[in-house]
Amino acid sequence: MEIDTHCEKVGAGRSDLIEELLTADLVILATGDWAAEGALNSAWLKSPGCSDLIVTWMEAHAFSAHSVHLRRDPFQGCLQCGLSGVGKPKLEVIKWSNDQMLQVPACGGLFMPYGPVGLAMATTLVAEHCVDVLCAGDDRMNHRSWLGEKGSIKSAGGQWSNTWVEEMGDPGNGSERTSRVWRRDMECPACKSHA
């Protein structure tokens, strides 16, 4: 197995790097940056024979993590099918009573604190998803999620989101994994512009 890494900015101005990335068997996108993700999604839609993508992100405090495998399939959507126009997931696990970003002391920056347990669960979720995709190939339930423990979420000011409960059911005390289909949105502007 050959694994290449790039520690560079990816965006619309780096079409050469994006083209190189899309020649791999699998691209793992864990930037948390909608400009880079949107540019790669657009390039992926334009390239009919390009690689599979795994896109991953964590929700606030790493109390939930997601891994989405995107492949060429007429019934499956692109990355933007499940995101708003600014890259926010349409289906979130947790609803918060207030903004979870914290101010950096004596600075204008913001940050999101999270601990090693949530991060470990997130990396395990993604690593297993990558191995499954590369070895098995069949991944119909291509949006995998890990949900943290309800008590920890509640003590931080969160609760299960209504949209999650309506679509996936009440997760009860949490500490579970789920899978679902990342559906194609027939109104997705990215898919429409590349149809």
Which CATH number goes with the domain that contains 164?
Answer: 3.40.50.720
Q: Is residue 27 one of the residues assigned to a domain?
A: yes
Q: Is residue 10 one of the residues assigned to a domain?
A: no
Domain tally, the chain? 1
Q: Is residue 151 one of the residues assigned to a domain?
A: yes
In this prediction, residue 195 carries a pLDDT of: 65
Q: Is residue 181 one of the residues assigned to a domain?
A: yes
Nearest residue to 25 (alpha-carbon basis) of 71, 57, 67, 58: 71
In this prediction, residue 150 carries a pLDDT of: 97
Output the CA torsion sign for 40, 44, 49, 55.
positive
Q: Is residue 3 one of the residues assigned to a domain?
A: no
Q: Is residue 41 one of the residues assigned to a domain?
A: yes
Mean pLDDT by 10 residues, the chain (195 residues): 74 71 84 84 80 92 95 80 90 92 83 87 95 82 95 95 97 96 90 77
Distances, alpha carbon 135 to alpha carbons 25, 74, 124, 131, in Å: 12, 22, 16, 6
Query: Is the Cβ–Cβ distance between 15 and 43 less than 8 Å?
Result: yes
Give the H or E element holding residue 165.
Answer: helix 162-168
Q: Is residue 136 one of the residues assigned to a domain?
A: yes
In DSSP notation, 23-89 reads TSSEEEE----HHHHHHHHHHHHH-TT--EEEEEEE-GGGSEEEEEEE-S-TTB--GGGGB-TTS-B
The Cβ of residue 111 has, within 10 Å, a number of other Cβ atoms equal to 10
Residue range(s) defining the domain that contains residue 83: 15-193
Q: Is residue 1 one of the residues assigned to a domain?
A: no
Query: Is the Cβ–Cβ distance between 67 and 129 less than 8 Å?
Result: yes
Residues in the chain: 195
